[in-house]
Amino acid sequence: MSSFLKFNISKFIIITISFSVLYSCSSIKTETKRGDINDVIYLPRQQAEREIAEQGGGSFIRDLFGNNSNNNRGDSLQLPVNPHLWQASLDIISSTMPLASVDSNSGIIISDWYNIKGNQNERVKISVLINTQELRADGVKVSIFKQKLTSNSWSNIKVDPVIIQKLERKIIRKAGALANSSN
């Protein structure tokens, strides 16, 4: 027998065994059931929010700003990030450019692309990450992306780190002022 014929017979045997294994698996009966909402495991904060919502009480905005007159729960919901850093970042970024994404749970604010002072050939995008619940200088990280239009395509340009540092300091100063005014 030639080696070519041996090779084809071995391929045929392997394919036949594979199909028979797959075919035998198709007869296994599996049951798919819909999970009940109570079967889902929640993190402690999520569970507390869910229980408050089920009781018909609690508003995120009222809890955030403390204007809940019937707050008899003893614990109010808090942002997972520092509220002063969050508010300062929102105020500063949204005052100059449109926002593309805002997520208080992850502490991320992302602006939309914005043309600089009427220059249609350059645009910037700013991303702010707030990563702490304390009002700290290292609690905010700013990233600035800058692009220039060349030959009908946008190319990235390096941003001076001093500009990033100035924006971070501006956010921290405003957050400090907000914290002082709320006390």
Number of CB atoms found within 10 A of residue 128's CB: 25
Residue 81 has what DSSP assignment? Answer: S
State residue 123 phi and psi, 5-degree precision.
-145, 155
| Stretch 101-123: mean pLDDT | 88
- Residue 30 neighbours by CB under 8 Å, 6+ apart: none
pTM listed for this prediction: 0.57
Q: How confident is the model at residue 21 (pLDDT cuts 50, 70, 90)?
A: confident
Helix (H, G, I), strand (E, B) or coil at 150: strand
pLDDT tens digit sequence for 34-88: 444 444 444 454 555 555 555 554 444 445 445 444 444 444 456 688 899 999 9
* Domains of the chain, earliest start first: 83-182 (3.30.530)
Cα–Cα dist 131/151, whole Å = 39
Q: What is the pLDDT of residue 49?
A: 54
Tell me the pLDDT tens digit for each residue of 145-162. 999 999 999 999 999 999
Reference 156, options 143, 147, 144, 165; nearest CA is: 147
Q: Supply 41's token pair.
A: 């495991």
CA distances from 162 to 26, 69, 141, 165, 167 (A): 63, 45, 13, 5, 9
29, 153, 164 from 97: Cα distances, Å: 56, 22, 16
Q: Which residues contact 12 (CB under 8 A, 6 or more apart)?
A: none
